[in-house]
Amino acid sequence: MSALRNLVVLDAPSNLGLRPPAPGTVPGCYKLAGALREQRIVQRLNALEGGVVVPPRYDLGDWQEGDGVFNATALAAYTRTLADRVERHVRAGELPVVLGGDCSIQLGASLALRRIGRYGLAAVDASHDFRHPGNSDRIGAAGGEEVALATGRGQDDLTDLEGLKPYLRDEDIRFFGIRDAFEEDRAELAALKIPTVTVGDIREWGADALARATAEAFDVPDLDGFWVHLDADVLDPSVMPAVDSPDPGGLLPDELTALLRPLVTSPHCAGFNVTIYDPDLDPDGTAGALLADIVVAAFAPS
């Protein structure tokens, strides 16, 4: 891959993977793409226009706890459609910048890359999104389960699309920004030998150094590249309160920028997505402006 690829901004405004914030309402993260476009992110990235992958309607219907992942049929259809678009850009030698949406949009990227070859994932997220039937009896929201689903854990109508299960291998995943307090979450990942870098680790070892080491680790003959997933809740709620789970102890803006830059500018990075920021929780747009600034700074030439 060339480090001089064109960036292509593609909107994936799906909220299919989140629980309703209140009865009769829908999660507002589907407005993320529009809010970042209001910050002129396409022009500031000097990116090409990739358009929008319009999601199906958010409708839980008669879903009840115990029924598996809600919106599963719509999620499966959307994953394939988004994968078609992502695949086209990656095969064309472009780097897609996908504006979510909730974290379930990552399934579209994972499926697209699985069609092409074998790729890794650098997930920059406050939580591991690794909930599955083997570790939880509260399955339902794919936005907290997408990494588990991508590794083949869960129902076949989401984990085995096109017979390509798993889309990601455990050993090809790296987590960054998990809260230090989430020790229980990290135990399963450690048993699976999935590297997990906490906020404390980032501060001890340095964001830039850790990210550069990871980009180099992905540069191996077995892998064709890697994808970078950013969940806005990795930021501390003092600067990013507009997320569904604003847990304390997160990264600060400069730390996140320093972590992202070596990853997204690596010649082996196949693409990037940003998720979970909810403009409904950010009435003055301050958090959205910050998120746009971070993404633009991460892609800026050093």
What pLDDT digit, counting tens, does each position of 229-249 carry? 999 999 999 999 999 999 999
Question: Which one is predicted more confidently, 275 or 61?
Answer: 275
**For the packed helices 207-217 and 253-264, what is the interaxial angle rounded to 10 degrees?**
20
* CA dist., res. 272 & res. 284, Å (int): 26
pLDDT, average across residues 113-134: 97
Please tell me the predicted confidence (pLDDT) of residue 301. Answer: 86
pLDDT, average across residues 199-216: 98
pLDDT, average across residues 164-191: 93
Cβ contacts of 56 within 8 Å, gap of 6 or more: 16, 71, 74, 77, 78
Does residue 1 register a pLDDT over 50? no
Q: pLDDT for 56-72, tens place per residue? A: 999 998 999 899 999 99
Q: Is 46 left (phi over 0), alpha (psi -120 to 50) or beta?
A: left
DSSP secondary structure, 112-181, as one string: HHHHHS--EEEEE-SS-----TTT-S----GGGTHHHHHTT-S-HHHHSGGG---SS-GGGEEEEEE-TT
Does residue 3 register a pLDDT over 60? no
Other C-beta atoms within 10 Å of 2: how many? 8
* CA dist., res. 21 & res. 27, Å (int): 6
Q: pLDDT for 142-168, tens place per residue? A: 999 999 999 999 999 999 999 999 999
pTM score > 0.85 for this model?
yes
Tokens of 274: 């940003």
- Tell me the pLDDT of the chain averaged across its residues: 96
pLDDT, average across residues 82-109: 98
Q: How many CA atoms lie within 13 A of 107 on its CB side?
A: 38
Q: Is the dihedral of CA 85, 281, 74, 67 positive or negative?
A: positive
CA-closest candidate to residue 20, choices 131, 140, 150: 140
- Report the percentage of the chain scoring pLDDT > 70: 99
pLDDT, average across residues 203-216: 98
Please tell me the predicted confidence (pLDDT) of residue 186. Answer: 86
Does residue 141 register a pLDDT over 50? yes
* CA dist., res. 215 & res. 259, Å (int): 11
pLDDT, average across residues 246-272: 98
pLDDT, average across residues 282-294: 98
* CA dist., res. 245 & res. 58, Å (int): 20
CA-closest candidate to residue 9, choices 40, 50, 43, 41: 50
Does residue 2 register a pLDDT over 60? no
The alpha-carbon radius of gyration of the chain (Å, integer) is: 17
Report whether 177 contacts 197 (CB < 8 A).
yes
Q: Is the dihedral of CA 193, 198, 175, 73 positive or negative?
A: positive
Q: pLDDT for 67-93, tens place per residue? A: 999 999 999 999 999 999 999 999 999
